[in-house]
Amino acid sequence: MTAKDTISAFERAALANREDRCRSGNLIRLEGPGEVIMTGDLHGNDRNFEKLLRVARLADNPQRHLILHELIHGNIADSGDQCHSYRLVARAAELKIQYPHQVHYLLGNHAIAQFTNDEVLKGGMAMVRALNAGLLAAFGSRSRLVMSALNQFILSLPLAVRSDNRIWMSHSLPSMRKLAGFQKDIFDKELTEQDLHSNPSLRALIWDRVHNPECLEKLGEMWDVDMFIVGHQPQGQGCGRPCSRMIILASDHIHGCFLPFELGKHYEPDELFAQAKPLASIK
């Protein structure tokens, strides 16, 4: 994609994010009938993204929803100092434009780090610097315009999905010690640049990692949900379950997983966990 095409994709997808008919504030609300395909972090993994497209078959299934998050930061060039994961983010932006009410791209911590230019490491590499180097190598003097469009796309992203069968999906969840001061208005207000830089409730929702049954019980009461599906935390086998009510997905490696489920159907915790499937099973 040229700089012009990439900028256009990010700008049009940002508008599609804001005009998503499933969106209420910063929350995506999904009602049945229909299906959901929830994913984990992808981090530039083009091959697994292609597999998700094949299993989703969005054109043939207009009531199916694909939830994406954390596609940025990965896909390191042979030089070892450039990240070209912006290409996958741009492809996802084009997918959002094509299926504006079926594709829902959620905010993740690496996306925030890229927006705020606060360095974050992945595999020992400084990813913000690597992605900026990749943009400069690809677009030269127009790289700043592409970066600005990418940032506006990031700012437009919703924070979470709540399904009518009481399943919550987001990049992560606030930990127990952050619940007392957690401000639920982040799901209602229009996010600002300052929110991405320093809003403690937003940071807790996107960045925290430590969760226990008591924390999930309180979150379930706050948000009126029963189960939580998130990413953020590495999972060597693609799927983990640290608590009965919480499932963690990773989709960025050979053992990556995704989790499909039906809207409008009640799932017990064991039943929902059993829905997780390996991406390696998709040819």
- Length of the chain, please? 283
Residue 254 has pLDDT above 70, yes or no: yes
CA dist., res. 46 & res. 177, Å (int): 36
Which CATH number characterizes residue 203's domain? Answer: 3.60.21.10
CB atoms within 10 A of CB 152: 16
Distance CA 153, CA 263 (A): 28
Strands (E), 115-217: 121-122, 125-126, 160-163, 167-170
Reported as a single tens digit per residue, the pLDDT across 179-211 is 999 999 999 988 999 999 999 999 999 999 999
Percent of the chain with pLDDT over 70: 99
Q: What is the DSSP string of 182-197?
A: --GGGGTSPP-HHHHH
pLDDT at 77 over 90: no
**Residue from 158, 184, 153 nearest 21 by CA:** 158
- Provide the domain limits for residue 43: 3-281
* Mean pLDDT of all residues belonging to the chain: 96
DSSP 107: P
- Average pLDDT in the 50-75 region? 97
Give the pLDDT band of residue 123 (cuts 50, 70, 90).
confident
The number of folded domains in the chain is 1
Helix (H, G, I), strand (E, B) or coil at 220: helix
Give the C-alpha separation, 124 to 67, whole Å: 28
Over residues 86-119, the pLDDT tens digits come to: 999 999 999 999 999 999 999 999 999 999 999 9
3-state secondary structure of 64: strand
For the entire predicted model, the pTM comes to: 0.97
Kindly list the strands in the beta sheet with 35-39, ordered across the sheet, starting from the edge strand earlier in the chain: 103-106, 64-69, 35-39, 257-262, 277-278
Q: What is the rounded CA–CA span in Å between residue 263 and residue 33?
A: 6
Using DSSP bridges, classify how beta strands 246-249 and 227-230 pair: parallel, antiparallel or unpaired: parallel
DSSP-derived 3-state class of residue 160: strand
